[in-house]
């Protein structure tokens, strides 16, 4: 019983940034789909309110929220002392996130009770 084919089977991949832009975009889209699927499952199975916003390597905005972005943001806003948002859309929320310091937003959100 010898090996079939010339492959070594499934190999562990070292975690490092993908340098090829085409491969990077493909990997992002695969992972983005998986993250949104898991997010949807979490919202459905556990009944949690959540929002996920991703910026692709091409600066495109992808978002998922349950029940909706407005509800999640307006729930977080008073607790995190974030600047007020007008009636949101994904695009408005994306520009707001870009204007905010990532570090500040992360610190505020991790301090939520």
51 occurs within a structural domain = yes
Q: Each residue's pLDDT tens digit in the chain (113 positions)?
A: 555 666 778 888 888 988 999 999 999 999 999 999 999 999 899 988 888 888 888 888 888 888 776 777 777 666 666 566 555 555 566 665 565 544 444 544 555 54
Please write down the HEC assignment for all residues of the chain.
Answer: CCCCCCCCCCCCCCCCCCCCHHHHHHHHHHHHHHHHHHHHHHHHHHCCCEEEEEECCCCCEEEEEECCHHHHHHHHHHHHCCCCCCCCCHHHHHHHHHHCCHHHHHHHHHCCC
Confirm whether 102 is domain-assigned. yes
Closest by Cα among 72, 74, 90, 71 to 82 = 74
CA atoms within 13 A on the CB side of 31: 10
Q: Residue 77: which of 64, 65, 67, 86 has the closest Cα?
A: 86
Judge if pTM exceeds 0.75.
no
> Is residue 63 assigned to a domain?
yes
Question: Residue 67: which domain range?
Answer: 21-110
The domain tally of the chain equals 1
| Residue 100, domain CATH | 3.40.1810.10
Residue 14 resides in a domain: no
Within-domain flag for 65? yes
How far apart CA 58 and CA 29 sit, in angstroms, is 11
For residue 16, tell me if it sits in a domain: no
Inside any domain, residue 12: no
Which pLDDT belongs to residue 95? 63
Query: What gap in Å lies between CA 81 and CA 21, rounded to an integer?
Result: 37
């Amino acid at each position: 019983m010898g090996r079939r084919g010339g492959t070594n089977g499934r190999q562990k991949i070292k975690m490092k940034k993908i340098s090829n832009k085409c491969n990077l975009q493909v990997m992002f889209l695969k992972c983005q789909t998986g993250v949104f699927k898991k997010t949807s499952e979490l919202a459905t199975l556990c009944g949690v309110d959540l929002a996920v916003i991703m910026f692709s390597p091409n600066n495109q905005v992808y978002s998922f929220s349950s029940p909706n972005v407005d509800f999640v943001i307006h729930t977080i806003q008073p607790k995190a002392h974030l600047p007020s948002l007008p009636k949101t859309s994904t695009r408005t929320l994306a520009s707001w996130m870009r204007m905010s310091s990532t570090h500040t937003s992360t610190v505020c959100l991790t301090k939520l009770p």
